[in-house]
Amino acid sequence: MIMNLKSSKPFGPNGTCEQERVAAVPAPGFRMMATAGRFLWLLLVAPLAAFGAEAPRIAPTEAAALVAADKAVLVDVREPAEWEKTGVARPAVLLAKSDFDGEQREWKGFLAANHDKKIIVYCRTGRRSGTVAEALAGQGLDVANAGGLQDWIDAGLPMREVKPTAGNK
């Protein structure tokens, strides 16, 4: 049953009523507001999608195979004290997330030298490496997150020790 918006009387079966039928019409300026809303979304929200670019997860065994074939570079993004305490994956390049988040003294040269390879990152649990991987993917790089060091160890992949240095303290 359709109700007459002016009188609360129902319209008859043929849609007629003694009072004028009122159509639902958008308020003045509605179209302009909707267009402005779409414009603001495109201006403000769409560019943020690049920052949250998805970086795929990769199994440690697949990562090791790509590194062995010289198609990828494995990067440990943990901090120097963590490298010394637990060791690192044998083929890993050691580039701390703190440097990535800061001045990128070591990251800039590394990225310039390896822009044509897949960059595979890992950390202790996969969280920090996920953050770095998403940022690199947002820059258009081919990147994957290998998760945490324990995943590498559980896969039986080779490890190496990191000796303390003056720069790692």
Q: What is residue 50's predicted lDDT score, i.e. its pLDDT? A: 45
Strands 143-148, 93-94: pairing is unpaired
Q: What is residue 102's predicted lDDT score, i.e. its pLDDT? A: 97
Q: Tell me the C-alpha distance between 4 and 42, whole Å.
A: 39
Q: Tell me the C-alpha distance between 168 and 166, whole Å.
A: 6
Q: What is residue 78's predicted lDDT score, i.e. its pLDDT? A: 98
**Which residues in the chain show pLDDT less than 50?**
1, 3-4, 40-42, 45-50, 169
**Which CATH number is associated with domain 51-168?**
3.40.250.10
pLDDT digits (tens, 9 = 90+) for 44-70: 544 444 455 789 999 999 999 999 999
Q: What is residue 15's predicted lDDT score, i.e. its pLDDT? A: 56
Residue 112: strand, helix, or coil: helix
Q: Is the pTM of this model over 0.75?
A: no
